[in-house]
Structure 1
Amino acid sequence: MKKILVTGGAGFLGSHLCERLVEAGHDVLCVDNYFTGSKLNIEHLLNRPNFEAMRHDVTFPLYVEVDQIYNLACPASPIHYQWDPVQTTKTSVQGAINMLGLAKRVKARVLQASTSEVYGDPEVHPQPESYWGRVNPIGFRSCYDEGKRCAETLFFDYWRQHQIEIKVMRIFNTYGPKMHPNDGRVVSNFIVQAIKNEPITIYGNGSQTRSFCYVDDLIEGMIRLMESPAEITGPINIGNPTEFTMLELASTVLKLSGSKSELIFKPLPEDDPKQRKPDIDLAKSTLNWAPNIQLEEGLSKTIAHFRKVLAASNHPAQ
């Protein structure tokens, strides 16, 4: 049994990770400031003797004794991270400094949840870890993109300078139950609009592509990276390499939900990538990892989850 800290543990990915670690018998400390995380995501764990939740903002130091740190704290959807861009950058940069400082003090292994956004609007497709990216440093998305890039820099400098055991994971589009219904991401947007039979909003002409990884596959890759030999530092792409256009995603959601929604088109947001697809050869060779859950299966589970969430919000408990 390990003592494991998960920052951002009440968020979408963090709550799934906490669940897996608790079920594996580890002693899990979930830290979250609840800006985008929700207590509802972790309430089923609160009565477990090997789970503890703490309200804390990672931009402030944290003094705990742990063996491993998963640093997931940071709003990850454009709506949330652009709401307070200065705080977003602080969370990525100062949060990384604080978690690396903690790891140095207690000699813990630490994993950084980085992002495919470090590649920006890529000129190389698919994106291998060796690609340095094409990011606008002064745009509306830069608080997130550059914050995560700086966090990676800090992780590798701490590794070289202080011999901290680091793991850096570049997360590509992930979806599944516990996503925030109003996070502005394409999967949650399409599903909520379809369930409500509202027009489905497509930005641009719908030809831009994304690859979608189901959350269970993503968490499996994250744990495998954390448990890999010390010399495997990353960065390692974790995502599903099967590519879909926005129009293909919309039509699949319509089919699976039985929705009567129509499609409407709006201008493409600034710096929105045209293509995004991971090269996962490194994850296959070093972690023996590849995604197993196909889009239709994952979307069916996610649609079922959102139906429950939306039904509960329309009929709150008295």
Structure 2
Amino acid sequence: MRVLITGGAGFIGSHLADAYIERGDEVYIIDDLSTGSIENIKHLKAHPRFHYTIDSVHNAPIVAELVDQCDVVFHLAAAVGVRLIVESPVRTIETNVHGTEVVLAQANKKKKKVLIASTSEVYGLSADVPFREDGCLVLGATTKGRWSYACSKAIDEFLALAYWREKRLPTIIVRLFNTVGPRQTGQYGMVIPTFVKQALAGRPITVYGDGRQSRCFCHVSDVVGALMRLMEHPQAVGEVFNIGSNEEVTILELAERVRKLTGSPSEIVFVPYDEAYEQGFEDMPRRVPDISKINALVGFRPTKSLDEILQTVIDFYAGRTTAHGD
């Protein structure tokens, strides 16, 4: 199979590329390296079945050419991370909405199957936990910048489903819940790499708010397996799926686990949201997926516990520190 991955030099995209190359498929990626990194794919660059294009998904002629060469498309290119969303709202909205418009329009010309990566953020302030795919989305006020990301990804979902209903372009939507693992950067506010790097360096581990907000973390290898299985299942078309773990942990507990697993002397300090992001920042108190739908269709179940996930990230960053001598 020939696979196109937009955002293929990103954290999830590069692991997905690895999995398809390993399986014997041909992989094409496009990435503008705004949040992805050439470091993530350098081990693939010399591979005869791996092809990369450094460009934006906004470049319709380039996207059209790549779509023509491939059988299926994974659209992972997006503005990611709360910090980026708060600091660059225009870029967030334009990247997410216009990029998806271009990919869907080009894929539609040849009716190539597209999987769109959405986010658990779309559930917004909903208190109906665990979140089900058919549940209501409850977004905050438009004056709160952080909801622009959730709204832009919800528009992506509406657009992808409209292409399926109106134009019969086969589309699949996945809502990812805190995917983590090696290669993930803490640069844009991702909590686990941030905590791990702070702990390994003996710096204070910074917990935003009171630390009672809870999340569920899923290893990238489990997520990649789910994406591949959904892409191949005919009944996934036109549907929305949560992908994540349902092992819930508070952020304060997470900080304590990281400190323990690294044997770090770091103290845990609390940082108010207003200081971390922006005045009046709103966070989701709990973010837990109902994964019964994807489990019923493709048998998805997370295989790695939270401690195992944390250990993979600790090993990755400890190894990098040793390699770089810092």
Scaled by the length of structure 2, the TM-score of the pair is: 0.93
The residue identity in structure 2 corresponding to 1:96 is T
The residue identity in structure 1 corresponding to 2:262 is S
Q: Provide the C-alpha distance between the structure 1 equivalents of 2:133 and 2:293, rounded to a whole number of angstroms.
A: 8
Compare the two structures and name the one with the higher helix fraction: 2
Aligned-pair CA distance for 1:313:
4.6
Counterpart among 237, 250, 255 of residue 255 in structure 2:
250
1:175-214 to 2 correspondences below 5 Å? 175-214=180-219
Is the 8 Å Cα contact of residues 67 and 106 (structure 1) preserved in structure 2? Answer: no
1:83 aligns with 2:82: no
Q: Provide the C-alpha distance between the structure 1 equivalents of 2:94 and 2:47, rounded to a whole number of angstroms.
A: 32
Aligned-pair CA distance for 1:60:
2.5
Q: Provide the C-alpha distance between the structure 2 equivalents of 1:157 and 1:265, rounded to a whole number of angstroms.
A: 44
- RMSD across aligned C-alpha pairs, in angstroms? 1.4
> 1:207-261: per-residue Cα shift (whole Å, max 9, x none)?
1100000111111111111111145432100000110011211111111101000
Aligned-pair CA distance for 1:63:
1.7
- 5+ residue gaps in structure 1? none
- 5+ residue gaps in structure 2? 275-280
Q: Provide the C-alpha distance between the structure 1 equivalents of 2:243 and 2:226, rounded to a whole number of angstroms.
A: 7
1:1-318 to 2 correspondences below 5 Å? 2-61=1-60, 62-64=63-65, 65=68, 66-138=70-142, 139-230=144-235, 232-268=237-273, 270-315=281-326
Is the 8 Å Cα contact of residues 79 and 85 (structure 2) preserved in structure 1? Answer: yes
Q: Provide the C-alpha distance between the structure 2 equivalents of 1:275 and 1:59, rounded to a whole number of angstroms.
A: 34
Aligned-pair CA distance for 1:141:
1.2
Q: Provide the C-alpha distance between the structure 1 equivalents of 2:302 and 2:33, rounded to a whole number of angstroms.
A: 29
Q: Provide the C-alpha distance between the structure 2 equivalents of 1:180 and 1:75, rounded to a whole number of angstroms.
A: 14
Is the 8 Å Cα contact of residues 129 and 286 (structure 2) preserved in structure 1? Answer: yes
Is the 8 Å Cα contact of residues 86 and 143 (structure 1) preserved in structure 2? Answer: no
Q: Provide the C-alpha distance between the structure 1 equivalents of 2:181 and 2:28, rounded to a whole number of angstroms.
A: 23
Q: Provide the C-alpha distance between the structure 1 equivalents of 2:128 and 2:321, rounded to a whole number of angstroms.
A: 39
Aligned-pair CA distance for 1:87:
1.7
Aligned-pair CA distance for 1:121:
2.0
Q: Provide the C-alpha distance between the structure 1 equivalents of 2:72 and 2:101, rounded to a whole number of angstroms.
A: 16
The residue identity in structure 2 corresponding to 1:127 is F
Q: Provide the C-alpha distance between the structure 1 equivalents of 2:53 and 2:171, rounded to a whole number of angstroms.
A: 24
Q: Provide the C-alpha distance between the structure 1 equivalents of 2:87 and 2:205, rounded to a whole number of angstroms.
A: 23
> 1:144-178: per-residue Cα shift (whole Å, max 9, x none)?
11110000010011111100001100000111000
How many residue pairs are counted as aligned between the two chains? Answer: 314
> 1:104-140: per-residue Cα shift (whole Å, max 9, x none)?
1122100000000000122111101111221125222
The residue identity in structure 2 corresponding to 1:227 is E
Scaled by the length of structure 1, the TM-score of the pair is: 0.95
Is the 8 Å Cα contact of residues 179 and 223 (structure 2) preserved in structure 1? Answer: yes
Is the 8 Å Cα contact of residues 36 and 75 (structure 1) preserved in structure 2? Answer: yes
Is the 8 Å Cα contact of residues 170 and 237 (structure 2) preserved in structure 1? Answer: no
Q: Provide the C-alpha distance between the structure 2 equivalents of 1:194 and 1:22, rounded to a whole number of angstroms.
A: 34
Aligned-pair CA distance for 1:314:
4.8
Structure 1 residues 313 and 233: alpha-carbon distance in aligned structure 2, compared to 1, 3 A threshold? farther
